[in-house]
């Protein structure tokens, strides 16, 4: 029930997917703890090998080129990476212009149109609201 499509990615695709998350998180020049936490969570969700996670963490200081990573990924991986890149960009509370630029580049490479991209942004907003409800249920607000 919980399984995400990312769990079926080939190892090389998982690497590229995680690199895209790193590129988005680093796009605005600052890395906040929330961004680190979501990248770790996404790497965990696709059950990435611990050694590969070390390489991804090391790339946070010097992320790879977006174009290079995109060129190695197939459209399915790109679409899932696009969806999760929006989550990563949203996690610090606002979309920075540099993050939006990465997202638009990804959308173009994945063949995602403006209307569909808007639907993904709306989906992230809905998820954010859903998640915040948990704090109300727990009496943590």
Partner 1 sequence: MLPDTVHKLPREERFAYARLLAFMARVDNELTVDEMAMFEQRLGTALLSPPQRKTIRGALKNPPSLEECLAEMGEETGRLALRDATLMAAADGSVDDDEREVLNTIVEHFDLAPDSVDRLLEWTANGYLWMQEGYDILNEISE
Smallest distance from partner 1 to CB 63, Å = 19
CB 24 within 8 A of CB 70: no
Return d(Cα 22, Cα 37) in angstroms, integer: 12
Query: Measured from the CB atom, is 65 or 74 closer to partner 1?
Result: 74
Other CB atoms within 10 A of residue 115 CB = 7
Residue numbers at the binding site for partner 1 (CB under 8 A): 1-5, 7, 33-34, 36-47, 50, 54, 75-76, 79-80, 83-84, 87, 90-91, 93, 110-113, 116, 119-120, 123, 126-128, 130-131, 133-135, 137-140
CB 17 within 8 A of CB 7: no
Query: Measured from the CB atom, is 65 or 132 closer to partner 1?
Result: 132
Strand blocks (E) in 16-127: none
Smallest distance from partner 1 to CB 105, Å = 16
Q: Which residue has the tokens 């943590």?
A: 140
Query: Measured from the CB atom, is 65 or 122 closer to partner 1?
Result: 122
């Amino acid at each position: 029930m919980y399984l995400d499509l990312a769990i079926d990615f080939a190892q090389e695709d998982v690497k590229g997917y995680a690199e895209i998350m790193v590129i988005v998180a680093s796009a605005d020049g600052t890395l906040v703890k929330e961004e680190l936490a979501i990248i770790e969570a996404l790497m965990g969700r696709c059950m990435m090998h611990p050694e590969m996670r070390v390489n991804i963490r090391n790339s946070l200081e010097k992320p790879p080129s977006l174009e290079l990573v995109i060129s190695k990924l197939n459209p399915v991986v790109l679409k899932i990476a696009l969806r999760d890149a929006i989550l990563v960009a949203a996690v610090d509370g606002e979309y920075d212009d540099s993050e939006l630029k990465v997202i638009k580049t990804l959308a173009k490479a994945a063949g995602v149109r403006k209307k569909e991209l808007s639907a993904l942004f709306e989906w992230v907003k809905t998820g954010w609201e859903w998640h915040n409800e948990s704090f109300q249920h727990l009496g943590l607000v």
